[in-house]
Amino acid sequence: MKDDVRDIQVQEIMNRRPRTGTPDMTVQQAARAMSAARVGSLVILEGDVPVGILTERDFVNKIVSENKSPAKVLVKNIMSSPLRTVPPTEKVTEAAKMMSRLKVRRLPVTEDGRLVGMLTENDILRLSPALIEVTREWSKIMTGGKSLLEGGMTPGYCEICGAYSQQLRMIDGDLVCNECAEDRV
């Protein structure tokens, strides 16, 4: 692993054997597969191509809350699609921001259209508990949190120059230090 957490790529911490299912399986079959594997999601494949994801949230929001029978509903009717993915060479910090922006706890990892892994919030937490704080702060920023959108400042690494600063602020969607902020004006 790299010395600086900002340089670590998704492929270094992802699960290389994500659990998969098919669009034509029933939700009950999918639930049994998830339970047996002790996972919270299945990446749904058509052949070798990932086309969606089925998560615990899908069960709650689309089956239980609607009082539908899991034995009668097909996965393709409730899976989340289109599938949002990340390449294995993406930096973990960028993937964490993406997860926060999309409000998801897991991202399938694809390369050349093929599923090669799964990145979860728990993978990131094992790497660095501080990165979870990054995702939560980014979520505040992207969902209208007042801290940075209203001129507040936060510590972290500048997204322009990479220097650490106690006074990052949001400018045009980037967290930047005072020096880089002056260059943008």
pTM more than 0.75:
no
Tell me the domains of the chain and their CATH numbers: 5-127 (3.10.580.10), 146-184 (no CATH)
Q: What is the DSSP string of 88-134?
A: TTSBHHHHHHHHHHHT-SEEEEEETTEEEEEEEHHHHHHH-HHHHHH
pLDDT of residue 127: 74
Dihedral angle computed from the Cα positions of residues 134, 180, 87 and 84, in that order, rounded to the nearest 10 degrees: 60
Average pLDDT over every residue of 1-21: 82
Query: What pLDDT is stored for residue 103 in this prediction?
Result: 83
Mean pLDDT of 85-114: 91
pLDDT digits (tens, 9 = 90+) for 23-59: 999 999 999 999 999 999 999 999 989 999 999 999 9
How much is the mean pLDDT over the chain?
Answer: 83
Q: Any residues with CB less than 8 A from the CB of 140 and at least 6 apart, and which? A: 147, 148
Single out the residue of 19, 26, 79, 16 nearest to residue 51, CA to CA. Answer: 79
